[in-house]
Structure 1
Amino acid sequence: MNSIFKSTYKKALTKAYKSNLSKLWLLGGVIAVFTSSCKKTDYLDINAADRPSLGAHISFVNARPVNVGIQFWAYTTQVTKTAVAINAKSDYLDTQFGDVQINFTEGTNTSYKASRQFGNSATFTSTGGPNGPIANYYHTVFAVKNAKATADSLILFYDDLSAPAAGKAKVRFVNLAPGTPNVDFGVAGQAALFTGTAYGRTGGSVLSGAGLNTWSLGPFVSVDAGTVNFAVTQTSDHSVVNITDNKLNNVVLAAGKIYTIYINGTPGSSAIGATILTHN
C-alpha cells in the first residue's frame, strides 16, 4: 500500500510540475513581449533609436536695413551654418523649443548684436513677446531694427503651413519698415486683406483677448493664384505708400504656395522696399 501511494504521489507531482512549467514558459513569453513592446515606447531611454526627435522648425530672416550677413543662435548654439544675407532667409532648421533665447551675430563677429528670450511669458503681449517655439511646429524669426531704427531686435511668428484650397495661394503681410504709420495691405483695386498693421506686426495679428490661437501672431489668408499687383496704403488717409523697388507689382502667386510679404527700409535711404518669401 505504501509503495502504491508513493507511485501515485510521484506521478501527481510530475504532472503538476510539467503543468506549472508550461505556465511559467507562457508567463515568461508574455513578460518578454510586454517588455519588448514597452522598450519601443520608453521615452526615458536616452538610447532609444526610435524615439521621435523634438525640436522647433524655424526659418531665420535677415530683415535689417544693413547689407551684411548674420548668423543665428539658440543660447550659445549656432543654428545657421551659412550667413543669412539681407532680405534672405534660411531653410527651416531644427532649433530648441520652449523657453529659448535667440541671438544673432553680424558678419564674422562673435558678440551678439541682439538677443531676445521667447517663451518666458504666460500671455501674448507686445512687451513680453509670444510664448516660445513649439516642438515639431514651424516658425519664422526675423532680425529687424526697432521702431526708431536705433537698435536691433528679434520677432517670432508662428507659421501655419497647412495647404491652401485648390487654385489658391496663402499670403501673410508683415510691416517691418521703421517709422511707418499703420498700413493696409491687399490686392490693388480690391478690399484690403489686412488693415491697420503697425510696425513689427503682421496683418490680422492678435496680442490679447478672445480668439487668441497659435496662428494669431502671423495669420495667412487665401488669395486666388495668378499674377497680381499688391498695394500698401496708410490706414489713416488711404494714401499710397511708395514701394521703391516695385516688387509688389506683377507678383506671380502659384497655386498651393504659401508666402510672407514684408516691407522694410533699404540701406542708405529712407526708401521702403518689399520682400517676398516662399515657405514651401
Structure 2
Amino acid sequence: MKKWLKLLSLVIFPALFLTACDDDDDNDGMSAQARVMVIHASPNSPAVDVLVDDKKVNSAGLTFPNNSGYLDVTAGQRNLKVNAAGTATSVINANANLEENKSYSVFAINILANIEALVLTDNLTAPASGKAHVRFVHLSPDAPAVDIAVKNGPVLFSNRGFKSATDFTPVDAATYNLVVRLAGTNTVVLDLPGVALQNGKIYTVFARGYAAPLAGNTNTLGAQVIVNN
C-alpha cells in the first residue's frame, strides 16, 4: 500500500491542479458548475473511492477499468481525492481549479509501482448532424506506440504512445471494425470489431491492460469505450 503514497505529490497538472485550496469559492447554492470524471486505468491497482472536498461520491469501490461518470461539482478551487477503497490512503490528493461549464477526465494510470494521473479537459461540443466525435487515449503501460485504423481502411490516429491522447475527432456515425496496429506497420495487436459510433454522441476509446500481463494478472490488452455525453 505504500506505493499508493506516490500520488500524494501529484499537484503538478498545468492549468488544472494548484498548490493551495480556498474554500471561499463556494458562494451560494447557485454557484456555477464544472464536471469531473475519474477513470480507473491502472491494471494492477485495487479498487478506489472518489472524494470531492472530502465527501465520498461513489457508493461502491471503482474498479479497473471502470469510471465514475461525470460528477457535478462547484466551479472554482475544489479538493479531489482518489483513495484506496475503504481506506483513508489517497492515491490522488490535489486541489483543482475547475472552470465553469468545463468537463474533465482524470485517469489513474500506469502500474501500481509507478501509478500517476493523466488529466484531460473534455471538449464536449456537439457533433454536426450525421457525425460522432471520438478520441483515443493510449493507457497500456507496456504496449508500444500504435496506429488506430479502420479495418481495410484509413488510419484514424497514428503513432500514439503511452499516455498520449488525441483530440475529439469528427467521424461519420456508423459501426466500425477497428484495428490497433504497431505504429507504422500492418501488424495488428488488437481487433476492435463492431464499434458503434452513434449520431451526435461523443466517445473516448482507451487502450488498457497489459500487452504482456504480469504473473497472476489477467488484465490483458484491450480497449474500453466511454460515452462522454
Residues 186-215 of structure 1 show CA distances to partners (whole Å, capped at 9, x for unaligned) of: 322222221121111112xxxxxxxxxxxx
Normalised TM-score (structure 2): 0.75
Aligned-residue offset at 1:91? 2.4
- For structure 2, the 5+ residue unaligned runs are 1-24
- Asked if 1 retains the 8 angstrom alpha-carbon contact of 2:127 and 2:133, the reply is yes
CA distance in 1, matches of 2:158, 2:62: 30
How does the TM-score come out when normalised to structure 1?
A: 0.62
Report if the CA contact (8 A) 2:179-2:190 is conserved: no
**Alignment partner for residue 161 of structure 1, among 119, 124, 136?**
124
Distance 1:145 1:272 in 2: 13
The reply on whether 1:93 has 2:68 as its aligned counterpart is: no
Aligned length: 200
Q: Which has the higher strand share?
A: 2
75, 95, 108: which one pairs with 2:86? 108
Percent identity between the aligned chains? 28
Q: Note the 1:237-256 alignment, pairs <5 A.
A: 237-242=185-190, 248-256=192-200
Deviations, residues 211-266 of structure 1 (Å, cap 9, x unaligned) = xxxxxxxx1111111211111112143422235xxxx2111221111111001115
Question: In structure 1, what is the Cα distance between the partners aligned to 2:200 and 2:128?
Answer: 7
Please, what is the CA RMSD of the aligned residues? 2.8
**1-side partners of 2:141 and 2:92: how far apart?**
19
State whether structure 2 residue 175 is matched by structure 1 residue 231.
no
Distance 1:275 1:87 in 2: 7
Q: Which one has a larger percent helix, Structure 1 or Structure 2?
A: 1
Given that 2:140 and 2:208 are in contact with CA atoms closer than 8 Å, whether structure 1 keeps it comes out as yes
Instruction: Give unmatched runs, 5+ long, in structure 1.
Output: 1-43, 120-131, 204-218
Following superposition, the deviation at residue 62 of structure 1 comes to 1.3
Q: Distance in 2 between matches of 1:74 and 1:45?
A: 13
Where relative contact order (Cα < 8 A, 6+ residues apart) is larger, the structure is: 2
Task: Tell me the distance in 2 between the aligned counterparts of 1:92 and 1:270.
Answer: 25
One-letter amino acid of the structure 2 residue matched with residue 61 of structure 1: I
- Letter of the 1:70 partner, please give it: V
Q: Answer with 1 or 2: which has the greater Rg.
A: 1
Farther-moved stretch of structure 1 (62-71 vs 269-278): 62-71
For the residues of structure 2 that align with 1:62 and 1:180, how far apart are their CA atoms?
18
Cα deviation, 1:15-65, whole Å, max 9, x if unaligned, reads xxxxxxxxxxxxxxxxxxxxxxxxxxxxx9956x6xx41332011111121
